[in-house]
Structure 1
Amino acid sequence: MYTESRIKTAHISAYNTFWLNNGDINNRDEIDIIENNSNPSTDYSNPEYPWTMHSQYFVVKDGVTERNKGNFDNRNLSEGNTLKGVKWNEEYHVVGAWWKDEHNVQFYLNGEPAGKITTKQPFTLEQHLIWDLWTQDSSWVGGLPAKSDLLDDSRNTMRVDWVRTWRLESK
């Protein structure tokens, strides 16, 4: 299957996410298409965050986790792409994932391949689409947002314009 969504992130120190998931902490399949933070608040945070499409997967069976990343920096889009180097909060970006088979996912950004993952264990569960905005007091997330940012509706809202999903059918 292939799914994509057109998203403009909130400009607060938080992950704006679009992901697929099914299961619980001990048994789940998860594909994180994006975890984007355009405005990290911690000094430790990677200065690349405002351009990094954090993409990853988790296959958890009987409490044993397999995980890997397929991140992509949007400054590496092709020269002709008008969204090359544009921060997540400045414009809408189209992010997507082609779930090719039980082991392979190709991520897309603004119409171009953008990172990929290959699992050792197969994805075995149908997954649900989820959008959310979350943070925690961790440097790897980017830290907590300022209270003034949380109270500012021009900054604190992730906008989802649309979503499309296709599923391959046998003839």
Structure 2
Amino acid sequence: MSTQAESRPPFPPFTRESAAQKVRGAEDGWNSRDPARVALAYTVDSQWRNRAEFVTGRAAIEAFLSRKWQKELDYRLIKELWAHDGNRIAVRFAYEWHDDSGNWYRSYGNENWEFDENGLMQRRFACINDAPMREADRKFFWPLGRRPDDHPSLSDLGL
């Protein structure tokens, strides 16, 4: 549960515009690769399923993200709104990364999100597949951090 002092606009119920704003905010946070910053977007008791791993609570989310970004190097992510209704948003995404041996991957997935009244995510269910790729096939080249506003979307890239 979140407290009244914690809030993360926009708040549900979502319009198409506010849902897209929420998706971009999440993308920006994840592209920061700052586990503590990202964890603040979730309720203190948030429940996740990420692939086959179940995570509950901010501390566990922060630990999960720390492990993730120690493994997934040069991580760059694009999220795209798929659908929304009330306090729920569905997202599709792709991200590129390499391991410590220099093997490149593009990971594709879908997420279902549920928010509390303060705009904090209380549930996140993610299905993700990793596709090995050649470094020459990369499509995400912006400097680490926030994706530039003029960078193509997943749809624009044919992903």
Q: Tell me whether the two structures share a fold, i.e. TM-score over 0.5.
A: no
Q: Which of structures 1 and 2 has the larger relative contact order (alpha carbons within 8 angstroms, sep 6+)?
A: 1
More helix by share: 2
Instruction: Provide TM-score, normalisation by structure 1.
Output: 0.30
Bigger Rg over Cα: 1
